[in-house]
Structure 1
Amino acid sequence: MQIPLSCIPTKRSEEWWLQRHTEKLAEKTKSANPIDLIFIGDSIVHAWELEGKSAWQAHFSHLSTLNLGYAGDRTEHALWRIQNGELDNVNAKFVVLLIGTNNAGHRHDKPEEIASGIKSLIRLIRDKVPNCKIVLTAIFPRSRNKHKRMRKIVDTTNDIIRTFADDNSVIWFNINANFLDADGVLHETVMPDLLHPNALQYEIWGKTLGKLLRSFAKTGTL
């Protein structure tokens, strides 16, 4: 059986991407305190540094954090980054994983292929940071309504990957209902391009995630 592209660690060639990887390796090494919380993902995670900056400050500034979101990344790109040092020698309490929308949007991968890439990431994260809790985040909805092709790919992928969670070492985290109206429609007032959340949605995400992390933290420091 052929290994799907979503599972084959792949290095990107863009200069900014390579530079960000170098910078993140340095940021991890220079951290004065042990890292509490790591985010891994694509542009939606990357944008915590932009659209979500205020929410990040409000909900995570008291923690030692590392944002490993890269715009445009698919699962295979995150696999390469982790294999090449981004999680080496860290002992984070939590790793938040949100990725897969670009597998759906760029290449129209099958849900099973995207899920396989995400499962590979979970295994690799567990290998690199064995004591962390992985917050497996449902891929955010995209496209206006639930009948669109990419929405269906995302929804089906989420149905698969939720089975990877055990609510202990891998925690399922799904806030997608916050983004949709009663009919399942995604509006530009929530995601202006029907893909990337606006600042208010980052606030909802940060508040909800912060509450979840505190409920699982054994030391009471989160």
Structure 2
Amino acid sequence: MVSKAERPEMIRPGMFGGIVSADTRRNVFDYHNEVLIRHEVPIDFVFIGDSITDMWDIETYFDGNNRRLVNRGIGGDMTPFVRRRFAADVVQLKPKYAVIKIGINNTWALDEWQPQNRKKPQQIHDEIVGDIQAMVQQAKEAGINPIVCSLLPTRIDTNKQTPERNELVIEINQSLKQFAKEEEIVYVDYHSAMTDEDRKTLRPGLANDGLHPHVLGYDIMAETLKSELNKQGIEI
């Protein structure tokens, strides 16, 4: 137990520099993390990811069972930055479970107008899967149960790369599902529950912008997560 006159030792990943979405919430998260650590708050679930996690009102959906939930989503975040902040925003908080859903923002590298900045689908796939694998290993080494979640489909009609992006999302999800099976950890398949008849594109009526779910999309995600965790004997 830390003395009341002392501040706890804690991990602070610092700023990433340049224009990086992960910097936008860093100070807030550091202050919140310090309070949680200082008061030795038992945490059941940490949700970590990008804007889809950040904008999800997880307390409304899951707070009925006296579970302590912590949201560490950052709008615009990508896997390399989540991987770097994982020790600060998950591991040192010592939750029972870490819900990991990240990667769609990596795929904007398909849209780079300068060819030298563009990435091939395989490069993006390997980056996302590799970073998530590293996070899973960090969690397991710390005695935290990782829960890997699929990327969501998109439906951005004004974006020329939408068909290519949705194909890439399917391949990434297949790799994540296989990895979860090999590691004997939970995989949550939001994608299948949210696609249109083509099984690739986001179903109409779930997001205003074709990317970020509104309440109807989050309703599906919440039910999918609850259902999958219940199958594994995990209550949320």
Q: Given the alignment, which residue of 155, 164, 169 partners 2:170?
A: 155
Partners of 2:178 and 2:15 in 1: CA distance: 29
Residues 162-173 of structure 1 correspond to what in structure 2 (within 5 A)? 162-166=177-181, 169-173=184-188
AA matched with 1:75: T
Q: Given the alignment, which residue of 28, 31, 46 partners 1:38?
A: 46
AA matched with 1:92: P
Contact 2:154 2:162 in 1 (8 A): no
Match of 2:99 in 1: 96
Q: Could you tell me how far 1:82 is from its partner in structure 2?
A: 1.8
TM-score (norm 2): 0.74
Q: Could you tell me how far 1:181 is from its partner in structure 2?
A: 1.9
Query: What CA deviation, in whole Å up to 9, does each residue of 1:153-205 have, x standing for no partner?
Result: 21111111111113875111102122222123324521221111111111221
Is 102-111 or 39-48 further displaced after alignment? 102-111
Partners of 1:69 and 1:31 in 2: CA distance: 22
Partners of 2:228 and 2:183 in 1: CA distance: 12
Contact 2:79 2:131 in 1 (8 A): yes
Q: How many aligned positions are there?
A: 204
Contact 1:37 1:96 in 2 (8 A): yes
**Structure 2, gaps ≥5 residues long:** 1-12, 111-118
Partner SS, residue 211 of structure 2: coil
Partner SS, residue 178 of structure 1: helix
Match of 2:146 in 1: 134
* 1:153 to 1:183, Cα distance in 2 relative to 1, 3 A: closer
Q: Could you tell me how far 1:104 is from its partner in structure 2?
A: 1.1
Partner SS, residue 53 of structure 2: helix
Match of 1:122 in 2: 136
Contact 1:134 1:170 in 2 (8 A): yes
2:65 corresponds to 1:65? no
**Structure 1, gaps ≥5 residues long:** 1-8
Is 154-163 or 58-67 further displaced after alignment? 58-67
Partner SS, residue 25 of structure 2: helix
Partners of 1:168 and 1:43 in 2: CA distance: 27
Partner SS, residue 166 of structure 1: helix
AA matched with 1:68: R
Contact 1:60 1:210 in 2 (8 A): no
Partners of 1:170 and 1:156 in 2: CA distance: 19
Greater relative contact order structure (CA < 8 Å, 6+ sep):
1
Match of 1:6 in 2: none
Match of 2:214 in 1: 198
Q: Could you tell me how far 1:30 is from its partner in structure 2?
A: 5.6
* 1:121 to 1:168, Cα distance in 2 relative to 1, 3 A: closer
Q: Could you tell me how far 1:69 is from its partner in structure 2?
A: 0.7
Contact 1:75 1:121 in 2 (8 A): no
Q: Could you tell me how far 1:147 is from its partner in structure 2?
A: 7.0
AA matched with 2:77: D
AA matched with 1:98: K
Q: Given the alignment, which residue of 68, 71, 86 partners 2:89?
A: 86
TM-score (norm 1): 0.78
Partners of 1:100 and 1:122 in 2: CA distance: 14
Contact 1:115 1:160 in 2 (8 A): yes
Query: What CA deviation, in whole Å up to 9, does each residue of 1:100-153 have, x standing for no partner?
Result: 11111246542122211111121122223x2x3221101111235897121122
Query: What CA deviation, in whole Å up to 9, does each residue of 1:10-34 have, x standing for no partner?
Result: 9534663322332342353266641
* 1:156 to 1:199, Cα distance in 2 relative to 1, 3 A: same
Partners of 2:35 and 2:229 in 1: CA distance: 23
Contact 2:49 2:72 in 1 (8 A): yes
Larger CA Rg, structure 1 vs 2: 2
* 1:156 to 1:98, Cα distance in 2 relative to 1, 3 A: same
